[in-house]
Amino acid sequence: MGQVFLFAVLLFTLFVALLPPPILCLPPFSALKSGGGKKNLSNAPPLEDTSKKPILLSEIKLKNRFENDIKGFIRNVRSFHDIIEHKTPNSLLYVQEDLLNFHNSQFIGDIEVGTPPQSFKVVFDTGSSNFALPSTKCIKGGCAPHKKFNPDQSRTYTQQLKGNKESIYTYIQYGTGKSILEHGYDDVNLKGLRIKHQSIGLAIEESLHPFSDLPFDGIVGLGFSDPDFSFKKGYGMSLIETIKKQNLLKRNIFSFYVPKKLQEPGSITFGRANSKYALEGRQIEWFPVISIYFWEINLIDVQLSDHNLNICENKKCRAAIDTGSSLLTGPSSLMQPLIEKLYLEKDCSNKSSLPNISFILKNVEGKEVKFDFTPDDYILEEIDEEDNSVQCVIGIMSLDVPAPRGPIFVFGNVFIRKYYSIFDNDHKLVGLIEARHDWQRRRFSTLAALKKKWQDLSSYITKDSDMAHWRELNAKLFEAEVLVQKQEREEFRRVDWSAWAEKISNKEALMCMKNFYDHQMNALDELDQSESKEVKDKKKSKEDELFEEALKNCKEAEKASAKLLVDGAKTLWINFHNPPVSNLDNNEWIDSDLYWQAFVEKHATYNLNSKSLTPEDEENKNMEKSEWMKKTTKFNERSDTPILYDYMINLPSWEHYDINRRIFLENMIYFLLRTGLSYKFFPELFSWKWKTHIEDLRFQYLEVAQRRRKNYQLVTAKREVPLELQPSDYEHKGEEYHLKLLQHFRDYQNLVLSRLMGNYIFLCDPFIPVQTEEMLQHVLNTYEGEGTLFKLCNDQVNCLFYLPPPCDENITSVQYKPLDALGNFYLYLKGKNVKINDSYFSFLKIISQVLQERGEYWLHLPNENVADSFLRRYNKDDAMYPVFVDYVAQLRENFENKVEVSPDMYHEEVSRIEEKYLEECSFFENFLRAFLTEDIALSHEQGAVPDLVKLDTNQIKKLLNEGKLKVVHPETQEEVRDPELVAELARQREAERQEIHEFVKSLSV
């Protein structure tokens, strides 16, 4: 459950990122996430130790960055004379807050709102500009488990009103969740920094998911305000803009630190950057902000092991530094090829073999700066709560953000953990410097100050000698705390004599030691109990006992009184809001309505005119229970009218697919073909574009299949005929038919693959297999005889291999297209006068179209071998994966020992191969008939072939007379009309099938 809950939090952070400014009737907003980069600087002096000279950003005389052009902006930046100011800060120049570390995904701080102050747990998010808190008006849904702001108890709260004195509301869509905010103003206290008249949004309604699962109450957006609204009347002004407008800080900057360890807190500092979080010897690199909404900077390219991926070539890539996001994300079209190259085992076994990732950004001087990430930086480790095993996940994922916010990369906590981030609101700059995570070794954790206030005295230490003694004191204190915690967690364990009994052969000596040990331990236990009892009796007098009993009774009475008060309030509220009985719906009960729910369930359908039984009679209860069981059974049989649900849209996606299994199978097959991903990544919300594409493809199939069904019905005068490759009854036999059809295609595929693998034809690209004289002439004419023909040093391989020029045998340079391959296959069959079912060909064409939707690299990446692509894309959990790995190894071993065939030996070698090939074709045809069932019809003309061995001559004669059976003699190729001869041929075929089965069973595996 811990992992599921953590995943829900990670998912919410993807939805919250880059939240737009609050506007009335705001459309659904988009989400972001992300991570990474690094580079040593040369244009700014290094950060210095705060124990010597604490740092502050100095004034930078820049013109408005939206005036003039970028060249003028760069010239102004070059005039920086001193980025870091060596002045001793005082308590009025900056504030710093330690942030609670929640699973290394969210960092939660404390704020106070209103007068008198009301405290809340919040997330500071640079990916949005909203200041959102739950309101006391929100009494159910996602607000229930969180603390709520009461505007009536704040003397400084005022509402934001329109010109007609109406309240201003904002509707926000959070993925599958929603929230409605009522806007107002109030004072905010942030660790001593008091911001007056700050615009806040109070949630008056929140959906249950995901808000109820979040460990914090609200969000404090640190993005830029919308310039069309914020600077006119203060409407929707973000926190950082309010601080700047009121001149509360000397430097309008803030910095964000993300730790590596789960036990360490994060930190946010307003007014300065803290040098203790920066790695010594590094310098800040500054980047211009290119957005008027969020902290976005220019992304030039991404490197994998120092090789450019050119994913931003001819594109203007943007990256948002987002403290509210957990991961590092980017558009799927750009990130998916990168993610596919980062295959990570769950147990972290191949972590060290993964490549480094680098992000190249453009700084204020227009220079490209490289930020490196090792596997330790972009891989997250999670501990399984059940078996305490360590599991690894990649902190990078694909996320498509629609326009106008996207497409965009989001550098979240994965990035900020590696690079300490500084946000300059005066000059719209972002500063990045490699973070330091061992700063606690120099000074005791600031989180400990919450428990031991005296430890803050270290700020007043000036001498190095005193600092050394202070460190020694903290080290000893830390050791003592660790020892105490360890002893508290451990239980006293007695000697396990059963284990020693196996090791000591002298049982008499063993029994003596055991008896002595038990006697001593019992004596010590009795002594300890008696001493504890004496101390307890001495401490407690009659007055103390009387006081404790009275105190206990008072606490119980207080709990009972509070419960009575709450229940009374619920009863009054229910009585006031009770709807008419006709509007009651037992799907919408709240937790406090359990009594009334039971009342309505028993009495709502009761009528004195129609029933003689009272609702409380046992007979009536049994009758209602029986009726309920009937309805439940009907629901479980996937009825067209689901019980307890009025609209299908109200169902969760998994239950919708559970009821509509045909739609699930259809959507799953489309998803697997379209993306090439595992079924584990099947989306909860299916793309509407994909749904419309499915309907378009369905029409293409029906256009062909319906025409063929109509013609067949007109010829045979049949009233009811199913579509080809489709069942006659979807509701009752649909699952059985599709399962049988998929099983048939899978068996056929495995048989064909085994034949191809036996001759090393499967995955032999760029080699062209040659088994006939016709194929040899075709490749020689196509490539004008400039290629090379090879044979393998294996007598069991009935195939030659032609390497066309100028192909590299280790690389597949040709980018095949599925539709072109299907077209070539169809032309080949047409040239051989082989007829193919139009419905089946339409089905193959649809699959090829979906595959081609993947893009140019649907099969393999540039300069990648097809065999490597196949193994990379194949499901590693499948039972056949080791078989294919072994096959590829044998394939490469055989091709390493290949022998070139001289041109004068071409025809001799091919004639020898072709003779074996024809024998193989004859055997394979019998092999297919032996292992593939014929009880499934792939066309109207074919029909399902009955088992003739089980029929007598009269039944066979009837089938022949009705035209339902047509038998051709295998030797004369003439139609057989004699039922006895047909029965004899069927028995011979069955005997041959059994012989092939026995032959296969006798083979050693």
Q: Give the separation between CA 298 and CA 282, rounded to whole angstroms.
A: 21
Task: Find out whether 270 and 243 touch, Cβ atoms under 8 Å.
Answer: yes
Q: Give the separation between CA 798 and CA 921, rounded to whole angstroms.
A: 12
Task: Find out whether 271 and 253 touch, Cβ atoms under 8 Å.
Answer: yes
Residue type present at position 672: L
Q: Examine the residue annotation and report whether 518 is marked as an active-site residue of this protein.
A: no
| Side-chain half-sphere exposure of 123, counting CA atoms within 13 A | 28
Q: What is the largest CA-CA distance in the chain?
A: 117
- The sign of the torsion formed by the CA atoms of 758, 763, 766, 769 equals positive
Q: What is the 3-state secondary structure (H, E, C) of 892-926?
A: HHHHHCCEEECHHHHHHHHHHHHHHHHHHHHHHHH
Q: Give the separation between CA 729 and CA 736, rounded to whole angstroms.
A: 10
φ, ψ of residue 231 to 5 degrees: the values are -90, 5
Beta carbons within 8 Å of 283's beta carbon, 6+ residues apart: 40, 41, 42, 43, 44, 45, 46, 47, 433
Neighbours of 151 (CB within 10 A): 20
Residue type present at position 649: I
What would the DSSP string read from start to end of 210-238?
HHTT-SSSEEEE-SPPPTTTHHHH-TT--
User: Residue 470's closest CA among 507, 443, 489?
Assistant: 443
Beta carbons within 8 Å of 701's beta carbon, 6+ residues apart: 839, 842, 843, 846
Residue 124: strand, helix, or coil? strand
The first and second tokens of residue 162, run together, are 């329109």
Q: Give the separation between CA 191 and CA 220, rounded to whole angstroms.
A: 14
User: Residue 898's closest CA among 803, 986, 782?
Assistant: 803
Q: Give the separation between CA 265 and CA 444, rounded to whole angstroms.
A: 12
DSSP-assigned letter for residue 642: -
Q: Which residue matches tokens 């055997």?
A: 923
Radius of gyration from C-alpha coordinates of the chain:
38
User: Residue 361's closest CA among 280, 296, 426, 293?
Assistant: 296
User: Residue 220's closest CA among 121, 91, 88?
Assistant: 121
Torsion of CA 798, 801, 802, 808, to 10 degrees: 170
Q: Give the separation between CA 789 and CA 177, rounded to whole angstroms.
A: 63
Q: Give the separation between CA 138 and CA 196, rounded to whole angstroms.
A: 25
Characterise 967 by phi-psi region: left (phi > 0), alpha (psi -120 to 50), beta (else).
beta
Residue 91: strand, helix, or coil? coil
DSSP-assigned letter for residue 19: B
Residues in a beta bridge with 411: 321, 328
Distances, alpha carbon 762 to alpha carbons 588, 829, 920, 921, in Å? 58, 20, 16, 17
DSSP-assigned letter for residue 334: H
User: Residue 282's closest CA among 44, 549, 599?
Assistant: 44
Q: Which residue matches tokens 């490759």?
A: 725
Catalytic residue among 187, 226, 322, 765: 322
Task: Find out whether 175 and 15 touch, Cβ atoms under 8 Å.
Answer: yes
- The sign of the torsion formed by the CA atoms of 911, 916, 917, 919 equals positive
Q: Examine the residue annotation and report whether 322 is marked as an active-site residue of this protein.
A: yes
Q: Which of the residues are catalytic?
A: 125, 322
